[in-house]
Every structure is written in structure tokens, then in C-alpha cells.
Amino acid sequence: MGEMGTNKLYGLGARRIGVVSAAPVGCVPIQRIITGGILERNCNEELNEDAKLFNSKLSPAISSLTNNQQLPGAKIVYFDNFTPGISLLRNPAPYGIEEVTRACCGIICVAPGSCPDASKYLFWDGVHPGEKATGILTGQTFDPASLSILLG
């Protein structure tokens, strides 16, 4: 989205805009299978590096829009989703998550049924976090101080 999307939203009347960074997309189950195969399921570190590079350019671009008053009256907040995401992938146990490489319902959810306990899986399907993981990531990504800027 970056500057162009933010400018478009501003042009449509938005004055409070939250921009969320790219997540560690190289570690979603579908990418793990593409990269590491069915058995190894390694993260695609190249995709994660691409996400980090994108985020490293997105955050300053958002700050520039705010600091240079290019969008008068706008409150734009950048939310880092990559750091909490990679942290949860690397250290899931404190949250009761046991499986980070496989999806609860399979990669595209075509098999009948799903896993016996979805709360133990980071991912629901090949790309989306499950309900429990979404709650954890939301709490870590959308910090109260930044939210108060948007909502206050």
C-alpha cells in the first residue's frame, strides 16, 4: 500500500490510517512445502528477507508522510506485524501452540475434518493464522499507544 495507497485513502476522506507491515510470509505452511518439501518444511528465508526489505522502506515512507505534513490533519500509524509473527514462529510454546509448520485444516482445506485441537496450531490453512494465533498477534501488533493515536 505505502504512500500511494495512503494518499488514495486520504483523498477519499480518511484521516486516521493504520498501515500494517508485511508478515513473515516465507514461513506460512504453503511456502514451507514449496521451499522445503513435505518432510523438511523449511521457511523460505528469501521471502522473509523480501518482507523485511519492504517493511524497512514502508515505515520511513509512512513517517515521511506524517512528519512532512503532506497530508494535513492525517494521523497515520505504522504497525509492525513481522516482529511478533517471527517471534511466535520461533517461540510458540509459551502460548500453548505446538505446531507451526503445518495447517490445522490442511493447505487448502479440502480434506474432510480438521485437526483435533485448532488452538495448538499456529495456522488454520496454508496462509492464514488460526483464531488463537490471530488473537496473540493482534495483541502484540496493535499496541495501545499507537491505537490511541488513531482512536483518540
Domains of the chain (ranges, CATH numbers): 2-145 (3.40.50.1110)
pLDDT in tens, 76-89: 999 999 999 999 99
pLDDT in tens, 15-25: 999 999 999 99
Longest dimension (CA), the chain: 54
Burial-class residue 74 by CB neighbours within 10 Å (0-12, 13-18, 19+): middle
Three-state DSSP class for 77? strand
* 16-20 vs 99-103, strand pairing mode: unpaired
Q: Compute how many other C-beta atoms are within 10 angstroms of the C-beta atom of residue 52.
A: 17
**Please, are residues 119 and 132 in contact by the beta-carbon 8 Å criterion?**
yes
- Residue 32, pLDDT above cutoff 80: yes
User: Which DSSP category does 115 fall into?
Assistant: -
Cell (9 digits) for 138:
493482534
- C-alpha–C-alpha distance, residues 79 and 76, integer Å: 10
pTM score, whole prediction: 0.86
Least confident interval from 40-49, 51-60, 66-75, 104-113: 104-113
pLDDT of residue 111: 67
Which of 99, 112, 107 has its CA nearest to residue 127? Answer: 107
